[in-house]
Chains A and B, each alone.
Chain A
């Protein structure tokens, strides 16, 4: 079974540019989550999809971040325009049901804004 796949693994962009991160969850997992870890801080929740619907987006830092999950399969997280403080590692996770034991994390996208 393929795991959670994230693309790209690394991205370096200039301040003010746009970046789109992609997450492909495990097939059949209705729940998809985005988390991020900025330098020196803990991993923090961004948002949660159930299929194509946003269940909880309370962790999204501001309106420069837009997440979508069209068709309830893969998800994208767009940052527009990117700021320096957006640098960090963005993790995606998916689960079949909401229990934590079934979470699987992707390997993350390391975003550097210069």
Chain B
């Protein structure tokens, strides 16, 4: 059974702080890793994807991947109240995603 685990939260951070979201996965054969943001009642929207070990930065977002530890994280710098949402970690080994349960992030003004 392929699994992706995340802390469900809620994770509360003050505005302007760094939010750190973590995800572990069980399938060592996983090839690609994605972070989606989902606002309540809306569709998941892709924030970042990462394929290789190390860090990948895009604006205020940094994804970090460590395949040896089967761990992927998302850092959000200068967090804004508009970042408050559920963040889904998704792992792709073949054609389909295996999603984690999501972490609810609340950025407090």
Which residues of A are interface residues toward B (Cβ below 8 A)? 4, 31, 33, 35, 41-45, 48, 55-56, 59, 91, 98-101, 103, 105-108
Asked if B69 is an interface residue, CB under 8 A from chain A, the answer is: no
State whether B42 touches A107 (Cβ < 8 A).
Answer: yes
State whether B96 touches A42 (Cβ < 8 A).
Answer: no
| Docked CA distance A44–B96 (Å) | 10
| Distance from B92 Cβ to chain A, minimum over Cβ atoms (Å) | 5
Contacts of B49 in A (CB 8 A): 100-101
Closest residue to A103 on the B side, CB-wise?
A: B46
| Docked CA distance A63–B59 (Å) | 46
| Docked CA distance A33–B34 (Å) | 17
Which one of B10-18, B70-78, B97-105 contacts A?
A: B97-105
- Indicate which residue in A4, A56, A100 contacts B97 across the interface (CB closer than 8 Å): A100
Q: How many A-B residue pairs have CB under 8 A?
A: 50
Interface size of B by Cβ–Cβ distance < 8 Å?
A: 22
State whether A100 touches B99 (Cβ < 8 A).
Answer: no
State whether A43 touches B99 (Cβ < 8 A).
Answer: yes
Contacts of B44 in A (CB 8 A): 43, 91, 105
Do A48 and B88 form a contact, CB below 8 Å, given A42-B101, A100-B32?
Answer: no
Can you spell out 29 A-B residue pairs with CB atoms less than 8 angstroms apart? A35-B97, A42-B4, A42-B101, A43-B88, A43-B99, A44-B99, A45-B96, A45-B98, A55-B95, A56-B95, A56-B96, A59-B96, A98-B95, A99-B32, A100-B32, A100-B34, A100-B49, A100-B90, A100-B92, A100-B97, A101-B46, A103-B97, A105-B36, A105-B44, A105-B45, A106-B43, A107-B42, A107-B43, A108-B43
| Docked CA distance A65–B90 (Å) | 24
